[in-house]
Amino acid sequence: MSIGFNGLGAQFFDGDRPVGQEVSLHIASGMLQVGLDDGDLHRWPVSEVRRVPDMAGKPGAVLRVISDPLARLYIEDLGLLVHLPALTKRAPPKGRGRLLAWAVAAVGAVALQIGVLMPLLADNLAGYIPAKGERALGEATLGHIREALDETGLSPLKICDGSKGIAAMAQMSARLGAEQRFRQDVTVYVLDHDMINAFALPGGFVVLFRGLIEAANGPDEVAAVLAHEIGHVISRDPTRNALRSAGSIGVLGLLLGDFVGGAAVLFMAERLISAQYSQSAESGADAFAHDILAQAGISPGALANMFETMRTKNGDSSGVTAHFLSHPALAERIETARNAVDQSVDYTPSLSEPDWRALRGICS
Amino acid sequence: MTDTHATASPWASPAQAAAGADQTDLRVAFTGKRGPLFWLAFKTGFFTILTVGIYRFWMKTRLRRWYWSAIRPGGHPLEYVGDPIEKLLGFFIAVVILTFYIGIVNLLLMFVSFSVFSASWVGYLASFAGVVPLWFYARYRARRYVLGRTRWRGVRFGLEKGAWGYAVRALWYWALTLLSLGILWPRMTFLLEKYRTDRTFFGSARLTQGGRWPMLYRATLPFVFSLLLLAGAALWVGWIDPVSAQTEAEEVIQFEDVIGMLEKGEFPGTLAAPERLLLFPLALAGLLFGAIYYTWVCKRIMAQHKFSDGIRFASALSGVRVAVIYVIGNFISYLALGIGLAALILGVVFLYWEAALFGDTSHVGQVWSDLPRWLTLLLLGILYLFVFLLWGVLHNTFITFPLMRHLARTTSLPEALGLDHISQRDRDNFAEAEGFAEALDLGAAI
């Protein structure tokens, strides 16, 4: 049995010439029969007819058949559609293996880039940046970090400048550096922020947060952190990190496209603060700290105390430090610091009581 | 409606082909309505956010399909047959290639920048300059992809290879334009369009861009006039008859001073005819109008000089109308955005306030600050994305839509007999689709 449809207004394009042809439309024995004026008859199996999706505007439908990607049938009589069971059926997946391969390649390329190539390049190049360049790099990143951490949205995070506190801090770093010829001058800043953290930047910048000084039990713990960060400065760890980030930002911007603008910079700031150095870099800085603390006559055990202070005071909150403290090697590092203590030596506190008070008040 | 051929049929009256008489004049209709587009854009935009951006390839495909099918030369819709999967694949390919280029090059540039110049701006500048040729390359490739996936009456469009040639020419014309202080800008506009048009095909028919570049100078008139106005105003107000009535020995009055005086309720009485200062916003608005006018009127002029064997184009596009569309569209988009944001902020404030009724405020503040940093960032991120979504949807509905409609309805083919001699062209297979444009975020949108 055959059903006829209104072919008036319908047009057929054969997929070769942009010239329409009038048609007569029938469905018989599972075939959509498209009859043309010149006598040609196209037979489209009803299960293979698809409707072109997302059409705008007036009623009417555009049909195609999966065996001929080019031919198009423009119809007006929508009564035809109910006889076509597979109008919206998707094409069987094709080339998915290739897609998957490139997806893996893309992820692999980014991973290789961020995980291997850039660290390698950064590590090798870091040693060649002159001191002046390192300084500029550090100043630039400090600016970014201060802006990123600012919560008022108005001005960069304040650098604490209590004059007595600064003098105390200078005294502390002088004592640590007295017998050690550092590769470059160390500049210590205290930022007015609650975070119990500290970080080093290229160019000899060591930054402590007010929160760290407030949390510390005594000046030696601050001195120990300072010594640790100076250790990073000496081995150029921050320079490597900053170079790496410069490359990573480009890649991230590429991946995330227009969804984030300043987020990449924010991310870099976050990364520099949390400074996920390698385990060997950390233990190197620890060893350095033990040495200069001992040379300055301050107990290396203070570093262990500081780690424990951070763990107890801050153990279960704030992301950055929590991550730092959950580092599996921390217990080991505490242990090593304790072992560096020479029981026969009579250690002296790094600051006198009034100076320590001054340091604690550096931000007020 | 300019759809003069519309009979009862949604498609063009087939009788024309036989009669042949009316075939010579082919008009372009536009049939879409805003409502369906709004929901399509909203739905696909929402999925895009849900899938962290992956769905954007489907969003783009579906929006293009919709727009293309609304544009109906001679009553028959254009058809967009691009595949989202191939776009995704193209994006991956582009990421693989670009990640090495951008990552390594950025790192090296930063190194050199800090080592040699002790500053970052050199690196940023060089890194930007390094991407510019890629940008033109990607533009051409994207156009080739879109044309290669566009059909009308079952016949494919196409663009020949030549992306690097395009990038080199674009750089050269830009250099000349900058060196000539913009005087050669129309030459650049024309020659780049000619490069693309002369490589464009519909089926077997090649398009040609006729005309000469000086014909575009008339499109620059509003811009040039506004520029002269600006210069004239600056001269008048600042030099010939200074707005500040002080003697020349005294310092020129500062903008801040004027604001300060106004804030104190004093009228800046020392100013001579300060209403002349209104010339500046007028001139700046004129410059903006001039830029829009230039871009679109150039399209019109060049469309009128495009041809192929037995095919000619005509365009009655109005630069003023386009500018009005931009103004109204942007006004609506930003207004809705502002209202939405304000409602959101009010909502947050209300939440806090309500909580404050039951407990002390410090506690409420603490709840907020006690949220893990990542959660706060996530919430802010989602908020940002929804604002982004809303804006994108409105932009589609109130700018892209009316622009496309105006473009379609003002275009016609006064001579279309050549269509009878056109046959199909081969499919343009190229793997990376518009991946580079996507990865470099050229935002070619539609």
Model pLDDT for residues B192-249, shown as the tens digit of each residue: 999 999 999 999 999 999 999 999 999 999 999 999 999 998 888 877 777 665 544 4
User: Whole-angstrom Cα distance, residue B341 to residue B320?
Assistant: 31
Q: At residue B437, what is the residue type?
A: A
Question: Do residues B400 and B325 touch, judged by C-beta distance below 8 A?
Answer: no
Q: How does DSSP classify residue A192?
A: S
Kindly list the residues from chain B whose CB atom is less than 8 angstroms away from the CB atom of residue A255: 95
Q: How many CA atoms lie within 13 A of B188 on its CB side?
A: 21
Partnered with residue B30 across adjacent β-strands are B71
Task: Give the residue extent of every domain in chain B.
Answer: 21-56+317-409, 81-211+422-446, 219-304
> How does the average pLDDT of chain A come out, rounded?
80
| pLDDT reading at B444 higher than 60 | no
**Please, which pLDDT band fits residue B364 given cuts at 50, 70 and 90?**
very low
C-beta atoms of A136 and B119 within 8 A: yes
User: Whole-angstrom Cα distance, residue B169 to residue B187?
Assistant: 12
Q: Provide the ipTM.
A: 0.75
Kindly list the residues from chain A whose CB atom is less than 8 angstroms away from the CB atom of residue B117: 133
Per-residue pLDDT averaged across B334-347, rounded? 79
C-beta atoms of A246 and B110 within 8 A: yes
pLDDT digits (tens, 9 = 90+) for B268-302: 556 667 777 888 889 999 999 999 999 999 999 99
| pLDDT reading at A258 higher than 70 | no
Per-residue pLDDT averaged across A189-210, rounded? 86
| Residue carrying structure tokens 């400065």 | A233
| pLDDT reading at A322 higher than 60 | no
C-beta atoms of B31 and A58 within 8 A: yes
C-beta atoms of B153 and A318 within 8 A: no
What pLDDT shows up at residue B3? 40
Kindly list the residues from chain A whose CB atom is less than 8 angstroms away from the CB atom of residue B420: 17, 19
User: Whole-angstrom Cα distance, residue B331 to residue B324?
Assistant: 10
C-beta atoms of A59 and B10 within 8 A: yes
| pLDDT reading at B266 higher than 70 | no
User: Whole-angstrom Cα distance, residue A129 to residue A140?
Assistant: 15
What class, spelled out in words, does domain A2-83 have in CATH? Answer: mainly beta
Please give the residue that has the higher pLDDT: either B362 or A201. Answer: A201
User: Whole-angstrom Cα distance, residue B21 to residue B417?
Assistant: 10
User: Whole-angstrom Cα distance, residue A355 to residue A170?
Assistant: 11
How many CB pairs lie under 8 A apart between chains A and B?
Answer: 217
Task: Show the tokens assigned to B374.
Answer: 């990542």
Partner B, chain A 189-248, Cβ-Cβ below 8 Å: 243-244, 246-248
**Residues present in chain B in total:** 446
What pLDDT shows up at residue B371? 55
What pLDDT shows up at residue B399? 93
Q: What percent of chain A has pLDDT over 70?
A: 83
| pLDDT reading at A234 higher than 80 | yes
Per-residue pLDDT averaged across A228-235, rounded? 86
What pLDDT shows up at residue B249? 44
C-beta atoms of B65 and A53 within 8 A: yes
Q: What percent of chain B has pLDDT over 70?
A: 78
Q: How does DSSP classify residue B60?
A: H
Kindly list the residues from chain B whose CB atom is less than 8 angstroms away from the CB atom of residue A250: 102-103, 105-106, 127
Kindly list the residues from chain A whose CB atom is less than 8 angstroms away from the CB atom of residue B114: 129, 133-134, 136-137
- Is the Cα torsion angle A16, A18, A24, A26 positive or negative in sign? positive
Nearest chain B residue to A239 by CA distance is: B111
| Residue carrying structure tokens 């016609």 | B412
Kindly list the residues from chain B whose CB atom is less than 8 angstroms away from the CB atom of residue A113: 99-100, 103-104
| Selection from A303, A249, A234 nearest residue B127 by Cα | A249
Task: Give the residue extent of every domain in chain A.
Answer: 2-83, 127-360
User: Whole-angstrom Cα distance, residue A187 to residue A191?
Assistant: 13
The winner for highest mean pLDDT among A33-42, B3-12, B398-407 is B398-407
User: Whole-angstrom Cα distance, residue B173 to residue B189?
Assistant: 9
Surface-to-core class of residue A128, CB atoms within 10 Å of its CB (0-12 exposed, 13-18 middle, 19+ buried): exposed
Question: Do residues B141 and B436 touch, judged by C-beta distance below 8 A?
Answer: yes
pLDDT digits (tens, 9 = 90+) for B171-188: 999 999 999 999 999 999
> How does the average pLDDT of chain B come out, rounded?
81
* Residue B135 Cα, gap to closest chain A Cα (Å): 13
pLDDT digits (tens, 9 = 90+) for A28-81: 888 999 999 888 899 999 998 999 888 887 678 899 998 888 899 998 888 888
| pLDDT reading at B59 higher than 50 | yes
Sheet order of strands, B71-73 included: B71-73, B26-30, B411-415, B311-315, B306-308, B208-209
**What does pTM read for this prediction?**
0.76
Per-residue pLDDT averaged across A4-33, rounded? 87
Kindly list the residues from chain B whose CB atom is less than 8 angstroms away from the CB atom of residue A133: 114-118
C-beta atoms of A137 and B92 within 8 A: no
Surface-to-core class of residue A299, CB atoms within 10 Å of its CB (0-12 exposed, 13-18 middle, 19+ buried): buried
- Interchain CB contact of A98 with B (< 8 Å): yes
State CA B335 to chain mean position distance. 20
Question: Do residues B33 and A59 touch, judged by C-beta distance below 8 A?
Answer: no
The winner for highest mean pLDDT among B90-104, B187-201, B373-387, B421-435 is B187-201
Per-residue pLDDT averaged across A239-247, rounded? 76
| pLDDT reading at B13 higher than 50 | no
Question: Do residues B217 and B186 touch, judged by C-beta distance below 8 A?
Answer: yes
